[in-house]
Structure 1
Amino acid sequence: MKADEFVSAIQRYVLESAVDDTISNLARPPGRRVASDLSVRSEWFNSLSEVEADMLRAVARDAARSAVFGFLAVLDGVRVIDSEKGTFELYHVGREKYLLNSSGIDLHDLLE
């Protein structure tokens, strides 16, 4: 797996899934005993017009994208989370071992 394939997979299976799952849980909360706070949010969400619900979906996508972008920026070393100034190395190990965030490749720049 190459860096661009990794970021595309994260976008599809993490970012987009988070948005879809969040909206789905708002529309129809899962479980038999729905937490009261989720029930209140669900009632509110289901009262929104289609335009308002689409706007909320866009906001949820922006938030999910910002979180993934920030995480990838940490892996790239452009967003610092510790004072030791260390580096993170992300490998995909399959038939071969491949460094996904080698110098010169910024994962956060590959996010669409």
Structure 2
Amino acid sequence: MNTEEFVKAYKMVVADAAIEDSISVFQKPPGRKPSEELLQISNYYNGLNRDERKIIDMIIARVSYEASFGALCVLDGVRSIEEEGDKGDINLVYSKDNRSFDLNKNKDLHDIFNFL
């Protein structure tokens, strides 16, 4: 798996899935006894007209994008998770069949994601 393949998979299973899952949960909360908060969100969402729900869906998509992009920025080391001073590096390595691939060697995961 190379860097671009990783980012494409990440986008699909994290960012895109978060959008689809959130909308699905808001439309019909799962489980026997969903939380009161989730029921409130669901009631609000389902009470909106189609155009209003489309706006909420766009907000969900934007939040998913921003969170996913931010996580990749952390992995690339361009968004710090440490206080001031000497900071460490995060190395993202994919291993398969006795081979290892440094996925964030070029610190461009977030750029690739942004391009997709």
2:61 aligned partner: 61
| Gaps in structure 1 of 5+ consecutive residues | none
Partner Cα distance (1:65, 1:20) in 2? 13
Identity %: 35
Count of residues in correspondence between the two structures: 111
Equivalent AA in structure 2 for residue 29 of structure 1: P
Tell me which residue corresponds to 2:51: 51
> Which of 91, 99, 104 does residue 101 from structure 1 map onto?
104
Report the Cα distance in structure 2 between the residues aligned to 1:106 and 1:35, rounded to whole angstroms: 39
> Is there any run of 5+ residues in structure 2 with no aligned partner, and where?
none
Deviation at 1:35, TM superposition (A): 1.3
Query: How far off its partner does 1:85 sit?
Result: 1.1
1:27 corresponds to: 27
Runs of 4+ in 1 over 2 A off after TM superposition: none
What is the Cα deviation at residue 82 of structure 1? 0.9
Q: CA deviation at 1:55?
A: 1.0
> 1:110 maps to what in 2?
112
C-alpha separation in 2, matches of 1:42 and 1:100: 39
Distance 1:23 1:66 in 2: 17
Match of 1:92 in 2: 94
TM-score (norm 2): 0.91
TM normalised by structure 1 equals 0.94
Structure 2 CA distance, aligned partners of 1:79 and 1:36?
35
Is 1:12–2:15 an aligned residue pair? no
- For residues 72-105 of structure 1, the C-alpha deviation after alignment (integer angstroms, 9 at most, x for no partner) is 01111111111331111000000210000113x4
Helix, strand or coil: the match of 1:98?
strand
Q: Residue 69 of structure 1: CA displacement?
A: 0.6
